[in-house]
Structure formats: C-alpha cells, structure tokens
Structure 1
C-alpha cells in the first residue's frame, strides 16, 4: 500500500496551555476547525462534524498533557492518525502536526491527501487567530 503523510510546524505566541485548550476543549476546537466531543483521554471515541464531508469517527490514542495529543481520524473511511506535539519556546509554542496513513492507492485517500495538504496550513493559521 502506498501511503503518505502531512508534516507541518507552526509557531504561536501563546503558551502550550492555550494551544492545548484549543486542541482538546470542544468549544475551542469548534472555533477553528470542527464541532465534536473531543477530550484528551486515551480510548475516548468522538465524532468531528466535517460539514459537507459528514461526521468522522475518531479515537484518542495518546495523551501527554500540554505536550502530545494523537488520535485516529475518520475511522472506517480515511483511517489516518493525527498527532499534535507541543514544545514550549520561550513564552510561545512550537506546534508539530502530522497526519499520516493516507492510502494513495484508493481514490478517496488520494483525494483527501490532495485536499488536506494545502488545507492544513490554513487551519493552523486559523488556530493562531483563535488563540
């Protein structure tokens, strides 16, 4: 299987605690990306409402408070893993984002990768304006 990943880094002036809240608090998460019952609890299952792409099932895989948040995304359809790593930088935060496991052999996987690759930088900018 031919797989692909998206890797991005973004710096925010906000401290890791603020970035963490935007990633793990449902109200804040909805402000910059999608509505859903997101929680930083390993094993927690939730859905993200992706509007025209429907509700996507997710499951939390790893949590290290204010440092690491990872979950399976679009279980049963896209089956990728999204990982957020937060590194303190002075009074700000370096966010390292990865979405991996896109199946480029499937039409839907290839389409999602081609759409999300340019889309994620815009979402990370929107996250910054939300902070």
Structure 2
C-alpha cells in the first residue's frame, strides 16, 4: 500500500525593520493601516474575532488565534480551498525589529496557492515597510 505524503509547506519572510516593535505592531493591527499595505478588512485584535480581508479578486476568511501585543499575532487565512495560518513574530533588535511572517498549511496539491503566496507576500511586505515608515 502506497503511503500518501501529506507534506505541508510554509511561506516564510523575514525582514529587519529599523523601527521599534510598537510601531510595527500598529501597522499589523490597525484596520486603516492594514488596508494600506494588505487589503480592506474588519480586523480587531481580539482572540477568536472573525474577520475578512477583501480585494478585487475575492475575500479571505480569517479568525484571530493568538495575540501578544508587540510580539505575536496569528490568524487563520482561508480562501479558495486553502486553509492556512499566518503568524507574525516581532523580536526587538539593537537597530529596530526582526519581523517574521509565516503562512503555513499549503498542501502539495496547492502549488498555485503556494507560489502565489510567495510572490504576494513579498509585495505586501514591501508595501508594509512603506506604511511603517510613514507612521508617526
């Protein structure tokens, strides 16, 4: 009997950003700022809060799973058959913050979603850094 590999893959992006975690946290958790770098949303930084990201191409259903201000934010990211989890980790450094984003849950048969996420998150992160640099 053949063993079916259910290998789950992640997209991971790490950036060193020259601003304190508190400033980066605002861009991750304030709906008007999230909209500037990611998508329209009805996000609230509350455990179990269900929210949506929406764009021209459709919507992503999400639910907040973990939140530790200025340190960790995790939420589900479900769209078009993809059931994944996005986790942001902020670690203070001497020059600012090490920001790590991991989207986990891509199955082997979700190559298109995986490639799309790899490409998309790089663009989102570039936009994110621009938004953070504008926050007072």
Output the TM-score relative to the length of structure 1: 0.90
1:87 match: 91
Runs of 4+ in 1 over 3 A off after TM superposition: none
User: Pick from 68, 75, 78: which aligns with 2:72?
Assistant: 68
Q: Indicate the SS of the match to 2:52.
A: strand
Q: Which whole-Å deviations, capped at 9, do the CAs of 1:23-53 have from their partners, x for residues lacking one?
A: 111000000011101121110000000321x
Which secondary structure does the structure 1 equivalent of 2:19 belong to? coil
Whose Rg is larger?
Answer: 2
What is the aligned-residue RMSD (CA, Å)?
1.4
- What are the ranges of 5 or more consecutive residues in structure 1 without an aligned counterpart? none
In structure 2, stretches of 5+ residues that fail to align are 1-5
1:20 pairs, out of 6, 21, 25, with 25
Deviations 1:53-105 (A, max 9, x none): x1111001000011000000016721100000001112511101100001222
Match of 2:3 in 1: none
Matched position secondary structure for 1:41: coil
Aligned residue pair count: 127
Q: Which moved more, 1:59-68 or 1:114-123?
A: 114-123
